[in-house]
Structures are given as C-alpha cells and as structure tokens.
Amino acid sequence: MSCENTLMSRGNAMQITDEAVCGLRIRTAQRAANNNHTQPPLLIFGGFGANIELQMPFIETLHGIRTIIFDLPGVGGSSRSLLPMTFADLAELSARLLRRMGCEQADALGMSWGGALAQEFAYRHPQHCRRLVLASTCSGRWIIPGELSLLLKLANPRRYWDRNYLKSIAGEIYGGRLRGNPDLVEQYIALLRPLHSPLDYFWQLYASAGWTSAPWLRQLRQPTLILSGTEDPILPRENACVLHEQIANSELVEFDDGHLLLFASREEAAQLIRNFLRAENPLPLARDCNL
C-alpha cells in the first residue's frame, strides 16, 4: 500500500492510497470515524465514470461515519483491467478491497450505476454487507427509462471529456436542483476527472450490459434504504418503486430533486442515511416522504 495524498473533509483528512487488488492498482480513499460510533464503515460505489472527488461534498455531510470509497478500474487514479469486468467481477474486487482495508463487514451505498454494483455486492457477499443504501438506481434490464432524447445525450461519451458540452446539458439530463442552477453545475463539473480513454467508457458499459437483479432481489435480506428523486429524468421514480416492492426489508424515501440527489440534496440525504446506519432497528422509516 502506498500513500498518495490526503483530501480534507471538514477537518477530517481522507487518506488516499493505492491498493493492489486483483492485479490492479485501485485508488482508494478512507476517512476515519471521529466519534465513538462502532458501526461498520460505509463502502460507497459511485456512478458511471465517477471519480472519488465527485463524492466528496456528500461524504463531508456524513459527520463521523467511517467511509471507504474507490475509483473503479479505468476511472480516476485506478488502473484499467486488461479485459472488461462484469458486475460479478467488480463485486469480488470490492470484497477483496474491503478485506485489504482490514474490514470483514461494511454498509454499502450505491448511486445510479453504482447502485447496481451495490446490489450485486450485497447479493454475492452478504457476509460483508450489513445494510444497503440505493440512490437513483434500478434493477437493471427491466428499467423504466426516461425520455429518449435525454437518454441519447446521456449515452454520448463526449460529456466525460468536454466540460463545456456537459455544462450545456447537465441541468437537462440530471434534472432537479441542477436545472437552472449554473453554480451548482459548475461545482459538480469542477470535481469531475475525465476518463482515461473511450475504452474505459465501453468497459463500464460492458459491466452493466444485460445485467439485472430482478431474479434475486427478493433474496436480499439486508435492511435497505432506497432514495429517489421525483424529478429524475434518467431513472424515473417508478424504478425505485420496483426495488421497494421486490426488496422485502426496504423503505423508499423520495426527494424533490433529480438524479444527483446525493450531490444536490446531500445534507438532507446524509441525515437520513446517518440515522439509518446508526439505528438499532433501522426500519421502517417514514414511507414515501418528500424532503
């Protein structure tokens, strides 16, 4: 393990290290808990092409929760795998990384594309996953899509290299509080690190191609908190309803926000998540409430 640098999170430094996992160099960030809470760390799975820095504003609101997050292969500071990896492969990599960080169990949080990976991780490695948080995500193949015109813009990899292009479409494709708020869009784009090459974009597409959790969602036993934006143009709230109906031990909370609710509504979301992770009996929460 080699220490790369630190990121500051409200006075609590996040240690950035390179970890050797599955023959790859995985850039990992860890923030220690700053209180006496003894729950497992929170392992965060970011969205498609999302580097560690994109999650820093949200992590800063988690006050006291030990957090582990990493750049997926080919993203941010992590090396690319020679061959494309499936979600099953990435779930195994995540479990090995967790053990390398000295943890036998974690709570898992996944957003968007990372929410699918979090489901896979919870299913394949239940011994490593105590509780599950799913934000702005879906069950895969039987997705309820947003508007076709927006999805075509979303599918264009140009947004990972052309900041001006992303700035011009961010409010439209992400919706919610980013719509009509150029300052918030600028804050988000400033944290984005471009993918290394178009191959990394297609490698991540490969991981999710044809994937679905539908056959085994009912087998998940982790208490699960599902967060959804009522103004999500990418994954409308109906996708969260499907997850809620299929995961027996789950609660759904809706936000008046869009796809990036963990960025734009991070204070409200973090409060819910902290309470969920720290509660002795985490469910039920207030069902389908608007924040």
> DSSP assignment, residue 226?
E
Residue (of 227, 219, 125, 234) closest to 179 by Cα position:
234
Using CA atoms of 178, 182, 183, 188 in order, give the dihedral in degrees to the nearest 10.
60
Q: Hey, how many other C-beta atoms are within 10 angstroms of the C-beta on 156?
A: 13
Strands 67-70 and 106-111: unpaired
Q: Which residues pair with 14 in a beta bridge?
A: 7, 31
Q: Indicate which residue of 9, 78, 112, 136 is catalytic.
A: 112
* Distance (Å, whole) CA 17 – CA 205: 26
Q: Provide CB contacts within 8 A for 247, sequence distance 6+.
A: 217, 218, 220, 224, 226
**213 is known as an active-site residue:** no
The amino acid present at 105, given as its one-letter code, is Q
Residue (of 25, 20, 39) closest to 99 by Cα position:
20
Q: Which residues are catalytic?
A: 112
